[in-house]
Amino acid sequence: MNRTAPAAFRRRMIMAGSLAAAAALAFTGCASGGSAGSTDAGGDETIGVSLIVKTTTNPFFIAMQEGAEAAAEDLGVELTMAAGKEDGDEDTQIQAIENAISKGDAGILITPNGPAVEDALVKARDAGLYVIALDTPPTDPESVDITFATDNFQAGQEIGEWTAAKLGGEKATIALIDLFDDKVVTVDYNRDQGFLDGMGIDTADAEANGDEAPTGTYSGGDYEIVGNEASQGAEDGGRTAAETLLSKNPDINVVYTINEPAAYGAYEAFKAAGKTDGLIVVSVDGGCAGIDAVKDGIIGATSQQYPVKMAELGVQAIHDLVETGKAPEVSEGLDFYNTGVALVTDDPQDGVESIDTAEGGEICWG
């Protein structure tokens, strides 16, 4: 996979209006091998789409739902929404997939909660539904027709590059706060490994968290990895993870987090321990609350992604597939459709492209 994209392309992706961009995307050609059995519906028949997100407790997925609702209303699509009870809840998502098949939906948009969901997605494709993964590429690429997502490796890279530059040669004592420790999902290892790669640290197996050398050198000096802890992507999980890592080494000065809710919790743990002086916290999301946290100095830099755009483009793609038979294509040089990423910080570093919180605030979500 090509892990980078030209800056001008990324900026176009970010600044384009979501539904306006959808209309101009020219969804042509075939994606992977799904058939979308409702593609000949056309006419006055209702186009049914199910959006199945990981959870409704995270602002990222709330924003995604709102984007899908707006697009469905504009296009006359009948949208059904479902969500896991918590991040990682595969059973509820599987039931929602079964329901979509039973209803005869034209397609499914899903942020998969784990690999157990993928067999159900294969069943949906076999039944003729067009399946689009949003945000989280599946571990089995054959379980979906196409993925609309942030380049999560690149998102991690950008905060890693910024962190290395910010340290200015100081030793990096690193805490890694991931998503899960009991299952493997692409968004988890891509962000974690992208961050380490951006720091200039050898990641060993790029699809496994925690197997890096615990000590060595990064691009600016020496590093020590204190450990990896799971947060479930939640604020309380981030706090508990940070407390555990602090108990192992109170000298941590760099905290990577899978998302901004985990970053808030981690910061609170360090604050309670009196350990925020010189602390660098970096994350991925770019929600409006996260941009405020960057502005307030809680998060040093975050990679901003665009869940509303993912959902709007997904609804548009299934609508267009039914109406015209034309399917979306992946971005050039990638195996998914890249919905864009931008580094947001008010402390820019030489050689690291970024936007400030004023610009990030104009295009944030949540």
Report the pLDDT value the prediction gives residue 124, as an integer from 0 to 100: 98
pLDDT, mean of residues 33-62: 74
pTM of the shown model? 0.83
Tokens of 325: 């038979």
Written as one letter, the residue type at 179 is L
Is residue 220 within 8 Å of residue 168, measured between CB atoms? Answer: yes
Report the phi/psi class of residue 222: left, alpha or beta, with left for phi > 0 and alpha for psi in -120 to 50. Answer: beta
Q: Tell me: pLDDT of 8 over 80.
A: no
By CB atoms closer than 10 A (0-12, 13-18, 19+), residue 200 is middle
The residue among 186, 187, 147 whose CA lies nearest residue 329 is 147
What letter does residue 141 receive in the DSSP assignment? G
Q: Tell me: pLDDT of 25 over 90.
A: no
Written as one letter, the residue type at 315 is V
Report the pLDDT value the prediction gives residue 366, as an integer from 0 to 100: 86
Cα atoms in the Cβ-side hemisphere of radius 13 Å centred on 324: 13
pLDDT, mean of residues 106-133: 97
The residue among 235, 233, 228, 286 whose CA lies nearest residue 252 is 228
Over residues 344-366, the pLDDT tens digits come to 999 999 999 999 999 999 999 98
pLDDT, mean of residues 214-232: 98
Report the pLDDT value the prediction gives residue 35, as an integer from 0 to 100: 42
3-class SS of residue 130: strand
Distance CA(322)–CA(47), nearest Å, equals 8
pLDDT, mean of residues 223-230: 98
Report the pLDDT value the prediction gives residue 31, as an integer from 0 to 100: 37
By CB atoms closer than 10 A (0-12, 13-18, 19+), residue 168 is exposed
Over residues 179-201, the pLDDT tens digits come to 999 999 999 999 999 999 999 99
Whole-number mean pLDDT of the chain? Answer: 90
Helices (H), the chain: 7-15, 18-24, 59-75, 90-103, 118-126, 152-167, 186-199, 235-248, 260-272, 288-295, 307-324, 357-362
Question: Please, which pLDDT band fits residue 102 given cuts at 50, 70 and 90?
Answer: very high
Radius of gyration of the chain (CA): 20
357 or 22, higher pLDDT: 357
pLDDT > 90: percent of the chain: 86
The residue among 239, 236, 232 whose CA lies nearest residue 255 is 239
3-class SS of residue 340: coil
Q: Tell me: pLDDT of 38 over 60.
A: no
What letter does residue 232 receive in the DSSP assignment? T
Over residues 307-319, the pLDDT tens digits come to 999 999 999 999 9
Question: Please, which pLDDT band fits residue 44 given cuts at 50, 70 and 90?
Answer: low
Over residues 322-348, the pLDDT tens digits come to 999 999 999 999 999 999 999 999 999
pLDDT, mean of residues 1-16: 34
Report the pLDDT value the prediction gives residue 45, as an integer from 0 to 100: 83
By CB atoms closer than 10 A (0-12, 13-18, 19+), residue 253 is middle
Bridge partners (DSSP) of residue 172 are 223
163 or 40, higher pLDDT: 163
Report the pLDDT value the prediction gives residue 198, as an integer from 0 to 100: 98
What letter does residue 180 receive in the DSSP assignment? -
pLDDT, mean of residues 116-120: 97
Over residues 250-305, the pLDDT tens digits come to 999 999 999 999 999 999 999 999 999 999 999 999 999 999 999 999 999 999 99
Cα 222 to Cα 174, 201, 205, 339, distances in angstroms: 11, 10, 21, 34
